[in-house]
Amino acid sequence: MPVLTRDEAQTRAQLIEARRYTVHLDLTQGDATFDSRTVIHFTARTAGDTFLELKPATLRSLTLDGHPLDPAALADNRFPLTGLTPGEHELRIDAAMHYSRTGEGMHRFTDPADGETYVYTQLFLDDVQRVFPAFDQPDLKSVFEVSVTAPDGWTVAANTRETGRTEDGRRTFAPTPLISTYLVAVIAGPWHTVRTHHAGLPFALHCRRSLAPHLDADADEILDVTRACFDRYHEKFDEPYPFDSYDQAFVPEFNAGAMENPGLVTFRDTYVFQSAVTDTQRQARATTIAHEMAHMWFGDLVTLRWWDDIWLNESFAEYMAYQVLSEATCHQDTWTAFAVARKTWGYDADQSPSTHPVAPDPEAVPDTAAALLNFDGISYAKGASALRQLVFWMGEKDFLAGINTHFARHKFANATLADLLDNLATATDRDVHAWAAAWLRTTGVDTLTPAVTDTDTGWTLDVTRTGSRPHRITVGAYDQDLLEADTLVLRERFDLDVPASGTDADPVTASATGTDPVTASATGTDAERPSGTASDADADLPSAGDTSAPAPAADPVLIRPGRRPALLLLNDGDQTYAKVRLDPASWKTALRSLAGIPDALTRAVIWNAARDMVRDGQLPPAAYLDAARAHLPHERDLSVVQGVLAFASQQIADHYLGPDDRPAALATLTALCRDLMRRTEDGQDPGLRLVAVRHFIAAATQPDGIQDWYDNDSVPGGPLLDPELRWSILHRLAVLGATDEAAVDRELARDPSATGEQGAARCRAALPTPEAKAAAWDRLFTRDDLSNYLFTATAQGFWQPEQNELLADYVPRYYPAAAALAARRGPAMAEAAGRHAFPAYAATPEALALGEQHLRETDLTPALRRKLIDQLDALSRALHIRSTP
């Protein structure tokens, strides 16, 4: 099917204005298709030709201004509209549409727990044509008036309040304000619903009936977070919430974390927790709630004009979610979680071949297929990090003033990066356009490296930056506690500006002298050395590339006497987006006293520095594991524990160490987890104990211990095994060859839920027999009957480092099989095939060469090609790390 190009969208937006859609969906026509009847009122500004997007099972009829058009004219999911005359027009379309099992369009799901069926729409980015015909581009906003006919006993919800229903099961909903086509939403099924009111609006939560007890258990928590964020956004934003209700639906087999449909946000229903969870998981759910609510302003009220500005949606929602959650709820440490769980996603994406600017040039996003590829760690995490740096530089008061001007000028309309920068500029005397050029139009991660020198009278700091961006950072100076040698105390923090001049080949240096009061002076390259002043809350940051005029000279300073700090940390507080290094003395202190640093975010910055050094081949993976073994048993922040363990297991043990070194790594991880379990035997920290148990299971190399847990339905000292832990143990037993398909069948009979089906699929694919692998391969790449979630579960079970000999013949089969699947099943399944079904364990020169050959010679869909490029780069990185002494 052809994708919409930017040029086509611009041409169509110049020709027509979409005024109103009246959409009726009939969901009583069976389990394969539903009926879609649509009336579109639009205006043609001039005479001309255009087209409508539509992907029907059957196009029954189409009329323009009462005149029938030939359904056979539909080609490649486009219907041509030729010879339009200036003025008002009316299109009427009657079609049958396919239900989806890939999470695109109108997804249909039957719950194995009780046989109940549910449907929901996911129309992002260009999937509206799978549900109803549309002029599908974000800048053709319109009013949508939706009605739905559903079976008896079903609940139906849409973007707006229900206004009526008829005896034949038809429900009507209030017209929406002007919104984009991709934001229209409908859910239908026998949902369990929790309702309340807040600020004069109806709020609701929806989930499958089989999840009702779990939603009811958490409803107060979810609604408390929702209300707190809602109120906090109204304190920050002048524009009130722009829609007439706020429903949150937890839907099955959802591809994303959530979707910001106005008035009806959809979430993956794994956020309805069915097993024990940690506080960090609850915080992650709360962050997603806050993120989607921020979209009601960033994305829904004011919408991007074209997909090159997706960061206007995602980066802002990401930043606002973490900030508002930390201000308005019990989750006070959100930025620590961001540092270890999200920002690293941005760093990794930004160092891959597919990196792109946060705000790419429009020409770099020529069509919707290219746009879809940019929903990644750059548009989310790096963009949010850039905004955090912007707020640190210009101040939150001015930042919010500019944002509120932006909302007022563009509400219910579309805007661009240029519009946003102009609006921010009205609130500050800072050169935000130059800042944006340096931060939003460039790629890659800068690296900040310190050099600390003792002098006769004090100490000095030189910061060298490779990269191109200006940075305002906080520097933390720490000393050993006089009473506790392994504890560090903060001596002082001071801000430092690193200017924008210089390149990777010609790095800049910012210099600071330890003083009381602290001042810092910045220097440029050898050729151009503007001097700087002490950095404080109101100091300006040099514009990108502006090194021609020297800044005022620094005031005379009083040199601080005494020795240098035991540990000096750049970017303390994590306010900028850059890799940081530690000087040798500070790194030695960190290795000795990392767990004794008082602030969790400071510890997270150091752990991220160590992570980056491993990925860059500057720190042996075993040294990272040794640091984790030494300090993690004493770590007090659960986000840090989870982040370090995830990197140690999923990257170091699974990829960065070769087969000969993997057993020792797993032994280190299990020993570390035992230490954490011993620390939590008193029951005072069940979240930490749960994390330790999960990682112990995943790293187990012998079945005996975890088999006893499984048989006894409990870990000694707790916890009792819930379904998630039972499936985790059974999966690891399957990998180790210590169970069989009969045991999987018995566990599925015990847990016949949707998550049980996924657990069973994962376990069956992990069994180390030729028959199990052949059956899993057939399900993945031949039969095409797996839903998106069951495909992912099967793929996650298939490739296992412990089964290299059994899997070797499948590695070359992967590329042609994945290419064919992506062409047949579309972008969502292509992404799943590239992410989850890729043989990432096979980090060998031969596997890398094979993949690169297929990239050169195979015709791949854009979604799959993008994933494979990054996966092969990850293989190359793993090989480099393995070969580094």
We report the CATH number of the domain holding residue 313 as 1.10.390.10
Q: Is position 292 annotated as part of the catalytic site? A: yes
CA distance 461 to 445: 22
From the list 424, 396, 412, the residue with the least C-alpha distance to 239 is 412
432 and 451 within one domain? no
Tokens 């690293």 sit at which residue? 344
In a domain, 452, yes or no: yes
Residues 435 and 489 both lie in one domain: no
Give the residue from 429, 389, 327, 879 showing the smallest Cα distance to 656: 879
Q: What is the pLDDT of residue 516?
A: 37
What is d(CA 640, CA 651) in angstroms, rounded to the nearest whole number?
A: 16
CA distance 619 to 613: 5
CB neighbour list of residue 603: distance below 8 Å, 6 or more residues apart: 594, 595, 597, 635, 637, 640
Are both 521 and 451 inside the same structural domain?
yes
pLDDT of residue 457: 82
For residue 109, list its beta bridge partners. 118
Assess whether 337 and 319 both reside in one domain: yes
Shared domain for 455 and 527, answered yes or no, is yes
Q: Read off the tokens for 259.
A: 């979707």
The reply to whether 833 falls in a domain is: no
Residues 363 and 325 in one domain: yes
Domain membership of residue 624 (yes or no) is: no
Helix, coil or strand: residue 494:
strand
Per the domain annotation, does 876 fall within a domain?
A: no
| Domain shared by 425 and 359, yes or no | yes
**Number of Cβ within a 10 Å radius of residue 242:** 18
Residue 732 lies in a domain: no
Residue 867 located in a structural domain: no
Can you tell me the distance from the alpha carbon of 481 to that of 478, in angstroms, rounded to the nearest whole number? 9
Q: Transcribe 721-770 into DSSP letters.
A: P-HHHHHHHHHHHHHTT---HHHHHHHHHH--SHHHHHHHHHHHHHS-SH
Reduced to 3 states (helix: H, G, I; strand: E, B; else coil), residue 509 is: strand
The number of domains in the chain is 2
pLDDT value of position 661: 96
Three-class SS state of 179? strand
Give phi and psi for 203, each to the nearest 5: -115, 150
Predicted pLDDT of residue 484: 82
Which segments of the chain have a pLDDT < 70?
1, 501-561
Q: How far apart are CA 748 and CA 758, in angstroms?
A: 10
491 and 430 within one domain? no
Task: Let me know whether 418 and 536 are in one domain.
Answer: no
Name the residue range of residue 353's domain.
302-439
Is the peptide bond preceding residue 125 cis, with omega within 30 degrees of 0? yes
Q: At 869, which helix (H) or strand (E)?
A: helix 862-883
Q: Does one domain contain both 404 and 511?
A: no
Strand stretches in 426-487, DSSP E: 447-454, 459-466, 471-480
Relative to beta strand 67-69, strand 264-268 is unpaired
675 occurs within a structural domain: no
Of 412, 439, 466, the last residue of a domain is 439
Closest CA relative to residue 873, chosen from 522, 615, 510: 615
Residue pointed to by tokens 């749960």: 690
Domain boundary among 530, 560, 589: 589
Of the candidates 104, 253, 260, 292, the residue annotated as catalytic is 292
Torsion on CA atoms 26, 174, 234, 382, rounded to nearest 10: 30
The pLDDT of residue 458: 87
Spatial contact of 379 and 311, defined as CB atoms under 8 Å apart: yes
Q: Does a structural domain hold residue 532? A: yes
Given 558, 589, 620, the domain boundary residue is: 589
Answer for the pair 646, 679: CB distance below 8 angstroms, yes or no: no
Structure tokens at 454: 């003792």
Q: By C-alpha distance, which of 197, 296, 191 is closest to 249?
A: 191
Shared-domain flag, residues 419 and 463: no
- 380 with 356, same domain: the answer is yes
pTM here is 0.94
The pLDDT assigned to 563 comes to: 85
